[in-house]
């Protein structure tokens, strides 16, 4: 009885993590497209729009991957086999490497243009530049 309840709850939480990852990634793609399309035709702001849209995509992919890693961990918490643990280790390693590489690209992008960085107050500076 208790084990059935825990398995059911675990399945729901795993599904919620996957749904949140999907939502965050799709929302990031839409926001990045809006930023890009809104300002790409302005020659003076096209470079800023490109960088801002890339940063938005990077943030959303990073957060989405974090949700997926959490869901993968939860999926193997109930009676895992060695095969499940091995698959989880590989999945986490791949997703962590992807996340690390994306954050490195974001940091490089932020350093290339001084107005942008990972700090939220700097993001508002970029957003305000795009709005004016």
pLDDT, average across residues 91-103: 86
What does the pLDDT read at residue 12? 95
What does the pLDDT read at residue 117? 39
In this predicted model, what pLDDT tens digit does every residue of 14-52 receive, in sequence order? 999 999 999 999 999 999 999 888 877 776 777 778 888
Cα 79 to Cα 95: distance, rounded to the nearest angstrom? 23
Look up the domain containing 89 and give its range.
2-131
Structural domains counted in the chain: 1
The pTM of this model reads 0.70
What does the pLDDT read at residue 113? 58
What does the pLDDT read at residue 121? 45
Angstrom CA distances, 129 to 13, 44, 106, stand at 40, 11, 19
């Amino acid at each position: 009885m208790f084990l059935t309840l825990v398995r059911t709850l675990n399945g729901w939480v795993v599904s919620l993590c996957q749904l949140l990852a999907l939502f965050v990634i799709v929302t990031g793609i839409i926001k990045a497209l809006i930023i890009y399309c809104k300002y790409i035709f302005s020659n003076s702001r096209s470079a800023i729009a490109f960088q801002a849209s890339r940063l938005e995509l990077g943030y959303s992919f990073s957060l989405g991957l974090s949700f997926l890693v959490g869901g993968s961990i939860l999926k193997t918490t109930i009676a895992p086999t060695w095969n499940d643990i091995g698959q989880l280790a590989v999945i986490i390693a791949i997703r962590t490497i992807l996340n690390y590489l994306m954050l490195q690209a974001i940091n490089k992008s932020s350093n290339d243009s001084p107005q942008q960085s990972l700090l939220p107050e700097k993001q508002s500076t970029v957003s305000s530049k795009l709005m004016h």
